[in-house]
Structure 1
Amino acid sequence: MSTTRRDLLKLGGLAAAGAMLPSFAAARAAMAKVPRADTPLNVLILGGTGFTGPFQVAYALARGHRVTTFNRGRRPIAEWGDRVEQLVGDRSTGDLRALQGRTWDVCIDNPTSLPSWVRDAGKVLAGKVGHYLFISTISVYADGSKPGLDEDAPLAPYKGRDAMAETRETLLADIENLYGPLKALSEAEAHKQFGKKVTIVRPGYIVGPRDETDRFTYWPLRVADGGEVLVPGDGQDPVQIIDGRDLAEWMIRLAENGTTGVFNACGPDYTLTTDAMLHGCHAVTGGPIRYTHVPADFLEKQQAQLPIWVPREGTPYSGYGAVSNARAIAAGLSFRPLATTVAELLAWFHGLPAERQAQVRAGISREKEAEILKAWKAKQG
């Protein structure tokens, strides 16, 4: 079975979690060669301590910008020190007092999935920020079954009673029906509150160091283990992923350039198939390995939940592996090599506590994989 409906509806970061922040000293060293921006900006980042937020902060600082974060303060990052102003509040309760009476050149809204959160931010920040950038998701599209989805495709309609009454709890209770429509309404609310100076960024799967979902991580880890690897489908289904650092750094550049509009932030800039993804992982990990392709219908019967992979036809989500990113690339979105993402992701993962490494949060167990392969070979005779 391919990626689950729940998993697909989380595209773009609802499930993004922040655990161990890579050494800030190391991050600063990596950014040492980043050129300074011509004009320093005063940047407000709503969130900032989850998955992509720390990368936004690191790149913004390297470019010479002043950075303020706003979140619940549950994951304060001491390594930032006085280089980052860290404001505390709670959008779920409407506590935005720390933002009152302040102005910023740019606001980047990372964690929002509810239109009421955008509305409330607008009440405090409208007229106080020059440019508002909103992280949305490709799950906003009404029909994800066809490849080539572009930013002008129809959006998923909301069928509830009152979108502004929805909460994080009601969203999580019915995420399959609410996530995309509420993100779409959040985009509309952004334009209502902040006018023309709005940028909507719609990512698909965000991967790389700090990805606590393990959706992509499952594959480099599995390839590194070697042996016989179960490959879903015929290996030619398209896959789209974006390194969280590429997404974060591009958003800072959008802010610097004052770029507005709507963009699908999917990668890479070529057609990446399932086979190519796995061979790319193997180029990094090495070791003896062999691949066995198993058809989608057989995996469905075996209830095999394999992340990232989506069959290129026959499901309501088949188009999610081939979304058009032409507009984003034209606006400067670039991608580091797959090998770099894989190598640095594995280095980060192997730096986590042993008990965390033992609990890969996506994919199937080796025992389940062996059972499926045995059953498939028996079927083949």
Structure 2
Amino acid sequence: MSLDRRAFLKTSAVLGGAAGLGLPAIARAFTADGVRPPASRPETGAAQPKPLRILILGGTGFIGPYQVQYALDRKHQVTLFNRGQTNKALFPNVPRLIGDRNTAGGHDALKRGTWDVVIDNPTRNPAWVRGAGEALKGRVGQYVFVSTISVFSDYSKPGMDEQGPLHTPGAPAVWASNDGANYGPNKVQCEIDATAQFGEDKVTIVRPGLIVGPGDLSDRFSYWPVRIDKGGEILAPGTPSDPVQYVDVHDLSEWIVRCGENHTLGTFNATGPKAPTNIAEMLYGIKAVTTSDARFTFVPAEFLREQQVRAWSEMPVWQPAMGPTLGFMQVNCQKAYAAGLTFRPLADTAKATLDWYKSRPAAEQEKARAGIAPEKEQAVLAAWHAKAGR
């Protein structure tokens, strides 16, 4: 199965994009005072880390609130920097600096204060990295930049580590672009500028894969728990052995904070699970947290393409394990695992996601941003059964 390069770039661009989106529904994953319901695993037997001064750029989108709450739980002093427009009710007792990074002087609020750790979540524009670097010059112990595995230019080989081939850095003319084709190249330039602004001895670059869990309005993972919970025959993509990778928002966010606690430096691919996982294991694992009668019909990638079923968007958490996407769900993250990135069971992620999804207003639930439409799913299944002579 071949894949149009521009279409692939557009779909892969969303891998880390939700990390910085202003997603109002994240507030439903937290209580009014910003305290997270018990979805994260409690720390057991862990020594209390040395209190740090942590500045989080963003902090109220998707992954930011989980970082904030985890840092507060661990007795760190947290300051937020953002426009003050998204989820303003979250964390009312956390100091907040206001600035619009798209405007001249938008980073001026950062020119006062010193921080042990700065976590930059929402940045896809290299000018933002440069602006932050200039404003914070000489007053930061460690800068953590949340990048994406979309920086890679070639996914045809499985097992690609941090040294894999990268896109040509984005040119200034496209830095402010929201075009998915520019997302990876702009993130490459952001990584370059992070090191140039803060110094290699102070920079941590985290490259997440697909981030999943409560608060993700992209529905890139939640489609499956929701669809499986409804039961019946379910269109499943490819072969049962096709690999998948994803990382729970709790696990990623908490590990990023611990990278600051441990002064972990360098570049890290950051997705999971730690043990290689395939699409069948994921789907049946999700089913196990429901009482559903769901049954899966796996349909080959070639037939899905003939039926114009799009990987990743209509069949979330999946790309064909062949050709240009053979390695897309087989990225090597051993370096991050060695540095302490851990993963909760799939059952925890699936249940938390399903519970959160059901808490959303009915209008939001009806407008899922990913997953195949029910009528199209039934039509494709009927066509497949007819082809197979069933």
Q: Which of 30, 33, 36 is the matching residue for 1:27?
A: 36
Q: Output the CA distance in 2 between the equivalents of 1:90 and 1:329.
A: 35
Given the superposition, is the C-alpha separation of residues 239 and 124 from structure 1 closer, same or farther in structure 2, using an over 3 Å criterion?
A: same
Query: Are residues 1:10 and 2:14 paired?
Result: yes
Q: TM-score, normalised by structure 1?
A: 0.93
Distance in 1 between the 2:87 and 2:236 partners? 40
- Rate the CA distance shift 1:76–1:85 in 2: closer, same or farther, 3 A: farther
Q: 2-side partners of 1:28 and 1:255: how far apart?
A: 24
| Cross-structure match for 1:323 | 331
Q: Which residue of 2 aligns with 1:184?
A: 188
| 1:258 Cα deviation after fit | 0.4
Structure-2 separation of matches of 1:221 and 1:175: 27
Q: Which residue pairs with 1:117 in the alignment?
A: 128
Work out the number of aligned pairs and report it.
372
AA of the residue aligned to 1:368: K
1:338 alignment partner in structure 2: 346
One-letter code aligned to 1:339 = A
Question: SS where residue 49 of structure 1 aligns?
Answer: coil
User: How far off is 1:18 after superposition?
Assistant: 1.7
TM (normalized to structure 2)? 0.91
Give the letter for the 1:164 counterpart: P
Number of the residue aligned with 2:364: 356
- Residue 82 of structure 2: aligned partner: 71
Instruction: For 1:241 and 1:251, locate their aligned partners in 2 and report how far apart those are by CA, in whole Å.
Output: 16
CA contact (8 A) 2:18 2:216 kept: no
> In the alignment, is the contact (CA less than 8 A) between 2:219 and 2:368 conserved in 1?
yes
Give a deviation string over 1:334-363, Cα, whole Å, max 9, x none: 000000000011111111111111111101
Shift of 1:10: 1.8
**TM-fit CA distance, 1:199:** 0.2
Please give the residue correspondences for 1:1-381 in structure 2 after superposition, counting only pairs within 5 Å: 4-14=8-18, 16-20=21-25, 21=27, 22-24=29-31, 27=36, 33-34=42-43, 37-82=48-93, 84-94=94-104, 95-158=106-169, 163-168=171-176, 171-172=177-178, 174-176=179-181, 178-195=182-199, 196-305=201-310, 306-314=315-323, 316-381=324-389
Q: How much does 1:142 deviate? A: 2.0
Contact 1:36 1:64 in 2 (8 A): no
Partner amino acid for 2:262? Answer: N
Q: Which has the higher contact order (CA 8 A, sep 6+)?
A: 1
C-alpha distance in 1 between matches for 2:384 and 2:41: 51
Structure 1's 68 and 28: CA in aligned 2 closer, same or farther, altered over 3 A?
farther
Write the deviation string for residues 217-253 of structure 1: whole angstroms up to 9, x where unpaired.
Answer: 1111111111101111111110000001100000000
Q: Measure how far apart 1:368 and its partner are.
A: 0.4
Question: Does the aligned pair in 2 maintain the 1:36–1:62 contact within 8 Å?
Answer: no
Unaligned runs of 5+ in 1: none
CA contact (8 A) 1:198 1:260 kept: yes
Structure 1 residue 33 displacement after superposition: 4.7
Q: How far did residue 286 of structure 1 move?
A: 2.3
Identity of aligned residues (%): 49
Q: How far 1:259 moved relative to its partner?
A: 0.5
Aligned-pair CA distance for 1:86: 1.5
| Contact kept in structure 2, 1:13 and 1:206, CA below 8 Å | no
Residue type of the alignment partner of 1:75: T
Q: State the one-letter code of the partner of 2:352.
A: E
User: SS in structure 1 opposite 2:113?
Assistant: coil
Give the Å deviation of 1:78.
2.4
Q: Secondary structure at the match of 1:7?
A: helix
Provide the aligned C-alpha RMSD in A: 1.9
What whole-Å deviation, never above 9, does each CA across 1:290-326 have from its counterpart, x for those lacking one? 2111110111121113111011112x23312010110
